[in-house]
Amino acid sequence: MPHPLLVSANDASTPIWLVSERTWPEIAGQLPPIARGFAKAQGFEGKAGSHCLLPNTDGGLAGVVFGLNGTDARHSDPFLVGKLPTLLPDGDYRFETDPPNPTLATLAWLLGSYSFDRYRKRGEKSVRLVTPKGVEADEISHIADAVYASRDLVNTPTSDLGPDGIEAAARELAERHGAAFTSIVGDDLLARNFPMIHAVGRASITPPRLIDFTWGKADAPRVTLVGKGVAFDTGGLDIKPASSMLLMRKDMGGAAATLALASMIMDAGLPVRLRVLIPAVENSISGNAFRPGDILPSRKGITVEIGNTDAEGRLILADALALADEESPDLLVDFATLTGAARVALGPELPPFYTDDDALAADIARHGMAENDPVWRMPLWAPYQSQLDSKFADMNNTGGPMGGSITAALFLRRFVSSAQAHVHFDIFAWNNSTRPARPEGGEVQAARAMYALLKERYGV
């Protein structure tokens, strides 16, 4: 059912005129004199992100004018209207002028209304939007709900969301959709041949685990999602400095993005055989922590020398990817907050992705732009593979001092050999500051782009 911040119709809703500096004079001329005069007195000129509440003759709210990017509304940021729910008083509103992309504008309205209030209650607001014509309210609501739930997961500190909490969230989602759910916990990981997941998580008081659920018809195209679920990353014995640990609650952002995408797929009823794998651990420190110089076996049979215990995410992903690869899925997708090098290369807002499939890469890039969920293809540069060489094992878990996101992707590729296509996303999963529709805190990246791609490929 539609999100509670959407309404189907309301004759008493307040109009919002979306304008630019170029179109504002014309629209101003169509407003009642009192509203036009008030906007002029307030200095409103239609600049991007600016707004003005227009009064009526009784002192009530007659309407709102809001400035979009640029001189032409057709070239505006489709999420800029996500500022409005934080600016407007309670009430029902409608777009009196059409946004360039009504679907993304509606989604921006919902995503901009998000707040994380588990630990600090904020005043209740109900700023609702009349669903624009042509917008599928149910689908937009499902997408927004998936993003809300996953933002909540990333924002929740590890004191309330350890590996067991990640499992609980995945189990709740699976059960809601009738998916078959299992979890392999603690020493059972060794018995079931997931040695690297066990090694990374064994030092924590909360046992490591591999979360696994499947949904959909067995004979449908196989789509497998793998998400890095490091509930907290101390860096292990190669301990991080204190400043680098402050945001490590978000190191399960890959798991959160995976659950968001899984939620969208199942809500839409896409005709796929969905499998979700989340290795969930806490990279902690104790007497039994894995060490630099250790050589670990893996599910794939590849031995890995530990060059740095802070490069733990790729270890747990490797075991999960090896399991996923055994089924030869049509598409294998992994999401991980994997490297700081990705942020150096592209910043926090533009996650890199890696794949050998040129057609898939083009589709991902196209949908990323269309959905305002941007990503950027980076090369799986084969010559850098030598940076992962080890004198004592098949490979090392760390590369050289440069190209760290690429070498991490090359590491993961060694564990995928049978999947028809594989794509790896190195996401940040956090907004360092508030932008329209993206409040400061946990964020879901690349999931909406991948949902649009899957819908195009497999939608009914």
Boundaries of every domain in the chain = 6-133, 141-458
Nearest to 420 by CA among 364, 374, 357: 357
Q: Choose among 332, 329, 327, 341: nearest CA to 398.
A: 341
CB 252 within 8 A of CB 153: yes
Q: Is the dihedral of CA 150, 151, 154, 155 positive or negative?
A: negative
Q: Which CATH architecture has domain 6-133?
A: 3-Layer(aba) Sandwich (3.40)
CATH class of the structural domain 141-458: alpha beta
In sequence order, the 6+-apart residues with CB closer than 8 A to the CB of 212 are 181, 182, 183, 184, 275, 276, 277, 278, 323
Q: Identical fold at 6-133 and 141-458?
A: no
At position 192, the amino acid (one-letter code) is R
Q: Is the pTM of this model over 0.95?
A: yes
Q: Which of 68-72, 111-115, 127-131, 211-215 has the lowest mean pLDDT?
A: 68-72
| Spatial separation of the C-alpha atoms in residues 356 and 379, rounded to whole Å | 9
Q: Give φ, ψ of 341 to 5 degrees.
A: -60, -30
Residue 325 and residue 418 in contact, taking contact as beta carbons nearer than 8 Å: yes
Tell me, yes or no, if 275 is annotated catalytic.
Answer: no
Q: What is the pLDDT of residues 427-441, one digit of tens each?
A: 999 999 999 999 999
Active site residue: 36, 125, 240, 455, which one? 240
Q: Burial of 385 by CB count in 10 Å (0-12 exposed, 13-18 middle, 19+ buried)?
A: middle
pLDDT at 59: 86
pLDDT surpassing 70 at residue 132 = yes
- 287 burial (CB, 10 Å; 0-12 / 13-18 / 19+) is exposed
Lowest mean pLDDT among 7-21, 211-225, 279-293, 333-347: 7-21
Mean pLDDT of all residues belonging to the chain:
96
Length of the chain: 460
- At 77 the pLDDT is 81
346-388 per-position pLDDT tens digit = 999 999 999 999 999 999 999 999 999 999 999 999 999 999 9
Beta carbons of 399 and 305 less than 8 angstroms apart: no
**Token output for 310:** 């802070």
Measured CA to CA, the distance from residue 275 to residue 191 in angstroms comes to: 22
> Are 292 and 396 spatial neighbours (Cβ–Cβ below 8 Å)?
no
Looking up tokens 């149910």 gives 138
Q: Cβ-count burial of 39 within 10 angstroms (0-12 exposed, 13-18 middle, 19+ buried)?
A: buried
The single residue of 128, 151, 314, 438 carrying the catalytic annotation is 314
**Which pLDDT value is given to residue 57?**
87
- The answer to whether the CB of 144 falls within 8 A of the CB of 447 is no
Catalytic, 240? Answer yes
Asked if 429 and 227 count as a contact pair (C-beta separation under 8 A), the reply is no
Cα–Cα distance, 435 to 424 (Å, whole number): 26
pLDDT beyond 70 at 173: yes
Q: How far is CA 370 from the centre of its chain?
A: 16
The whole-number pLDDT of residue 318 equals 98
Q: C-alpha distances in angstroms, 444 versus 43, 260, 276, 350, 435?
A: 37, 8, 17, 12, 14
